[in-house]
Amino acid sequence: MLKEFKEFAMRGNVLDMAIGIIIGAAFGKIVSSFVSDILMPPVGLVLGRVNFADLFINLSDKPVTTLAEAKAAGAATINYGVFLNTVIDFVIVAFVVFLLVRQINKLKRQEEVAPAPASRECPQCAMMIPLKARRCPQCTSDLKAA
């Protein structure tokens, strides 16, 4: 049973999938950092010094002014600013995956289109000769136009 598991785990597609998941998780962290640390602060500054991570709706009777206070007080909140950051993370990751799949599909289409053959076989000696040849260079037989 251990041998079968090892064969299963060492198949190319399983390893490729594992590598893809690991790289995807790392890429997701990079995008999350990009959104929360680089993209949203200037957007918040332009929109009147708003920190999107601190935007929330207080559902409790406790008066709180920041999300940290609400969490410390155990107040029920709707954290729409954090949700907005997560949606932007998703859009960026989805767009990058779209670009990646699009490029892979483009490369696959180029592979499918086989180039036209540049040579043909001589009917007399079976040697490969250029398509435009009118006489075989090996056996010197006269060839009809292809």
**Cβ-count burial of 35 within 10 angstroms (0-12 exposed, 13-18 middle, 19+ buried)?**
buried
Residues of the domain holding 99 = 2-114
pLDDT tens, residue order, the chain (146 aa): 888 877 776 766 777 788 888 988 888 899 888 888 888 888 888 888 888 888 899 998 888 888 889 889 888 999 998 898 889 888 988 898 899 889 988 888 877 676 778 888 888 888 888 888 888 888 888 887 54
87: CATH: 1.10.1200.120
**Does 73 share its domain with 110?**
yes
Angle, CA 54 vertex, CA 48 and CA 59 arms, to 5° = 120
User: CA 118 → CA 70, 134, 140, distances in Å?
Assistant: 74, 14, 19
**Does 12 share its domain with 61?**
yes
**Does 61 share its domain with 132?**
no
**Does 139 share its domain with 106?**
no
**Does 74 share its domain with 143?**
no
**Does 105 share its domain with 142?**
no
Question: What pTM, to 2 d.p., does this model score?
Answer: 0.58
**Does 20 share its domain with 83?**
yes
**Cβ-count burial of 40 within 10 angstroms (0-12 exposed, 13-18 middle, 19+ buried)?**
buried
The number of C-alpha atoms within 13 Å of 101 and in the hemisphere containing its C-beta is 6
**Does 62 share its domain with 125?**
no
Q: Which two structure tokens, joined as six digits, stand for 112?
A: 């499918």
**Does 13 share its domain with 47?**
yes
Rounded Cα distance, 62 and 52, in Å = 21
**Does 109 share its domain with 141?**
no
**Does 93 share its domain with 123?**
no
Contact 101, 94 (CB under 8 A): no
DSSP state of 53: G
119: β partners: 130
Q: What is the pLDDT of residue 146?
A: 47
